[in-house]
Copies of this chain bind each other. A is one copy, B any other.
Amino acid sequence: MKLRVTVWGENVHERKHPLVAKIYPKGMHETIAEALREDAGLAVRTATLDQNEHGLTEQVLAETDVLTWWGHAAHGQVEDAIVERVHRRVLEGMGLVVLHSGHYAKIFKRLLGTSCSLTWREAGEKERIWVCNPGHPIARGLGRFFEIPHEEMYGEPFGIPNPDEVVFLSWFAGGEVFRSGCTWKRGAGKIFYFRPGHETYPTYHQKEVRRVILNAVHWARPEGEWIDSCPNVPWNQAPEKIVPQGETLHQAGEAGFR
């Protein structure tokens, strides 16, 4: 069975700015989706901000194994109810690959719980991305490093919880460094953040970047399911025999608080 991937794109810059439209005439999401469609093992669709429910209906998410996310100008326009829906699906096991300015997406901050802030500069400088973890599946097929000729700079400090794994570190010509490839697990869901991808550079046309995203999608595939619940186990269903002791508000007829 194919791995079902939904590529989410904000699709705002591409329609407003000729500079971006020239690089990504069908939108960045279509370029990313095309990269993934080269792998016959994936079933890839796209979704965008302007669609009904941002294209992320209950059904679409139920049929999504891995979601990729690119947003920048319009994070605030993503409805909170949709963010909660995506959040729940990640905890249940859906993989999430967050790209570039998605560091400030509501869903990323919701899952990590921190500021997700960083330092930045738009000067089209050279970025060199180093592999810190050569045996990691997300680094498969890359050499010791690869370069992106022109990119926005993101620098430390990056306001994230300590990652489970750091796969990539970036060197910038202007003198900064950044943890550019990080993994976390939340509930049953795997999360990967990948730094590059500013809208005014052809980054998602570059083969190493496409390879990383493809690797990450495979890595983030669901491997189990964790449906949230907060069950009461009555005393007479406890694994060991016990006799209730003392009074409780619940026994006194109070409804449970949860």
CB interface residues, A 77-122, toward B, < 8 Å: 91-93, 101, 104, 110-115, 117-122
Residues in B with CB closer than 8 Å to A229 are 117
Known contacts A114-B187, A132-B156, A242 near B162 by CB under 8 Å: no
Q: Which of B124, B134, B139, B239 contacts A145 (CB 8 A)?
A: B239
Q: A122-B250, A122-B251 are in contact. Are A136 and B240 (CB under 8 A)?
A: no
* Contact yes or no, B169 A177, CB < 8 A: yes
Q: In the complex, are the beta carbons of B113 and A186 less than 8 A apart?
A: yes
Contacts of A161 in B (CB 8 A): 161, 184-186
Do B185 and A177 touch (CB < 8 A)? no
**A174-B240, A176-B130 given as contacts; is B136 within 8 A of A224 (CB)?**
yes
- Per the bound structure, the CA–CA distance linking A179 and B180 in Å amounts to 13
Residue interface bits A228-247, CB-to-B below 8 A is 1, else 0: 11111111001110111111
Copies of chain A in the complex? 4
Q: Who on chain B is nearest to A165 by CB?
A: B162
A side interface size, CB within 8 A: 103
What is the CB-to-nearest-CB distance from A35 to chain B, in angstroms, rounded to a whole number? 21
A258 to B175, CA, bound (A): 22
A244 touches B123 (CB 8 A): yes
Please, how many angstroms separate the alpha-carbon atoms of A246 and B198 in the complex?
Answer: 12
Q: Which of A177-210 contact B (CB under 8 A)?
A: 177, 179, 184-189, 198-201
Given contacts A137-B224, A188-B134, A224-B134, contact A235 B174 (CB under 8 A): yes
A151–chain B nearest beta-carbon distance, Å: 10
A174 to B242, CA, bound (A): 6
**Closest Cβ–Cβ distance, residue A70 to chain B (whole Å):** 13
Nearest 4 A/B pairs, CB to CB: A135-B188, A175-B239, A124-B245, A174-B238
A122-B251, A130-B177 known, 13 other contacts, Cβ within 8 Å = A19-B247, A93-B135, A112-B113, A120-B230, A125-B238, A125-B242, A133-B226, A153-B238, A159-B187, A159-B226, A174-B233, A174-B235, A200-B247
